[in-house]
DNA sequence: ATTGGTTCCTGCTGGC
DNA sequence: TGCCAGCAGGAACCAA
């Protein structure tokens, strides 16, 4: 599942493939993603040069000539493939929905089996007020994120802290995997109500969030070749999780068995001994 | 203002 | 071995 580190890694790959290049052709094979592609999608992109590829939360922002930004979200199963000129003959694959071809015969292919992903076109002037972006919480790797900021945002919430971390309005970009990992890193129990998290704990949690995300980006970055993919698992380089998907295995800190529970319909993994 | 429930979709898993 | 029901999961949306 692409969370912030995966989206960051993918963005870097797309930057290498696209920045400074002109989009020569756009193929839409399926327009009905999570929401329909905007009217005139292909025509509005074609011929424009790509100026930048950035990330906000789990969104990719591909800046185009003419003050236009292509907004993309990968949902659950979205991925991008980059095909070089030597792969010009490669046929489309199942679930390839949008293909951007640059003038130097590179193709960037958006593939999304479950179609929870989306794309939109936004005029740069309207970017900050875009409904999908306007209410997002702070970037966990940015300067505006800190223990006190997180503490403030958890204050008053009666929902479990794990569930709160998944709310993109609290902190942007943390998904199900790194929520569990960060709580483990901060030694905070996932069932604790958000409003009971004290300042010192929020400080630890904010640091743990940044730490796990940074580590995941660092390991994801090393696997990036011509394939831009979602989980960083090429060549056995998969990032090692401390607790996620490890129910029954020993806690790496105290060896107690990792437990799984379901919160808000999502799996949570934690060490019942270390995390309080 | 917050929160719980529902929905979208398809690949995978487990039971028979 | 094959079939199929059930489940996972990001996040918008709605109702309370």
Dihedral angle sign, alpha carbons of residues A17, A21, A24, A29: positive
Mean per-residue pLDDT, A114-136: 92
Mean pLDDT on A122-138: 91
Distance from residue A104's CA to nucleotide B14's C1', rounded to whole Å: 48
Secondary structure, 3-state, A206-220: HHHHHHHHHHHHHHH
Which bases on strand B have an atom closer than 7 Å to a protein beta carbon?
Answer: 1-4, 6-11
Cβ < 7 Å from strand C, A residues 22-41: 34
Of all residues in chain A, the percent with pLDDT exceeding 70 is 93
Instruction: Specify whether the CB–CB gap between A120 and A31 falls below 8 A.
Output: no
Model pLDDT, residue A219: 81
Identify the band that residue A47 occupies on the pLDDT scale cut at 50, 70 and 90.
very high
Q: Is it the case that residue A224 has pLDDT exceeding 70?
A: no
CB A58 under 7 Å to nucleic chain C: yes
Rounded, the Å distance between the CA of A22 and C1' of B7 is 38
pLDDT reported for residue A221: 52
Give me the pLDDT at residue A257, please: 92
Average pLDDT over residues A71-96: 91
- Is the pLDDT at A76 greater than 90? The verdict is no
Residue A228 banded pLDDT, cuts 50, 70, 90: low
Contact call for residues A104 and A21 (beta carbons, < 8 A) = yes
A245 sits in the region (left: phi over 0; alpha: psi -120 to 50; else beta) called: left
Per the CB < 8 A criterion, the answer to whether A41 and A31 are in contact is yes
Phi, psi of A262 (to 5 degrees): -110, 125
A56 touches strand C (CB under 7 A): no
Estimate in Å the CA A114 to C1' C12 gap, whole number: 16
pLDDT tops 90 at residue A206: yes
Q: Nearest CA to the C1' of B9 belongs to which residue?
A: A114
pLDDT of residue A273: 95
The Cα angle at residue A135 between residues A147 and A204, in degrees rounded to 5: 15
The strand B neighbours among A residues 97-126, by Cβ under 7 Å, are 113-116
pLDDT beyond 70 at A24: yes
Question: Residue A233's pLDDT is what?
Answer: 41
Which nucleotide's C1' sits nearest to the alpha carbon of A263?
A: B4
What pLDDT, on a 0 to 100 scale, did the predictor assign at position A154?
94
Across the range A110-135, mean pLDDT stands at: 92
* Model pTM above 0.95: no
pLDDT of residue A238: 53
Rounded percentage of chain A residues whose pLDDT exceeds 90: 72
Using 50, 70 and 90 to split pLDDT, how confident is the model at A138?
very high
pLDDT tens digits along A175-201: 999 999 999 999 999 999 999 999 999
Closest CA to A2 of A53, A54, A55, A77: A77
Catalytic residues of A: 2-3, 58, 266
How far, in Å, is the CA of A208 from the C1' of nucleotide C13? 31
Q: Which of A22-31, A92-101, A222-231, A252-261 has the lowest mean pLDDT?
A: A222-231
Per-residue model confidence (pLDDT) at position A100: 96
Average pLDDT, chain A: 89
Per-residue pLDDT, averaged over A9-14, amounts to: 92
pLDDT at A109 over 90: yes
């Amino acid at each position: 599942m692409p969370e912030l580190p995966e989206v960051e890694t993918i963005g870097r790959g797309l930057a290498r493939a696209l920045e400074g290049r002109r989009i020569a052709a756009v193929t839409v094979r399926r327009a009905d993603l999570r929401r329909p592609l905007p009217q005139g999608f292909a025509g509005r992109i074609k011929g424009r040069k790509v100026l930048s590829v950035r990330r906000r939360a789990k969104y990719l922002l591909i800046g185009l000539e003419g003050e236009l930004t292509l907004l993309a979200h990968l949902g659950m199963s979205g991925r991008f493939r980059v095909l070089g000129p030597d792969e010009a003959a490669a046929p489309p694959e199942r679930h390839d929905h949008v293909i951007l071809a640059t003038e130097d015969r590179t193709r960037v292919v958006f593939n999304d089996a479950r179609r929870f992903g989306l794309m939109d076109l936004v005029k740069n002037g309207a970017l900050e007020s875009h409904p999908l972006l306007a209410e997002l919480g702070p970037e966990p790797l940015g300067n505006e994120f800190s223990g006190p900021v997180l503490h403030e945002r958890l204050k008053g919430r009666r929902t479990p802290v794990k569930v709160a971390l998944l709310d993109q309005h609290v902190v942007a970009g943390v998904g199900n995997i790194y929520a569990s990992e960060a709580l483990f890193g901060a030694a905070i129990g996932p069932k604790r109500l958000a409003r009971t998290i004290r300042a010192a704990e929020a400080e630890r949690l904010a640091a743990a969030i940044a730490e796990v995300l940074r580590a995941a980006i660092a390991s994801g970055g090393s696997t990036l070749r011509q394939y831009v993919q979602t989980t960083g698992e090429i060549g056995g380089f998969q990032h090692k999780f401390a607790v996620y998907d490890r129910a029954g295995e020993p806690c790496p800190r105290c060896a107690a068995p990792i437990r799984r529970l379901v919160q808000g319909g999502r799996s949570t993994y934690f060490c019942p001994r270390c995390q309080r």
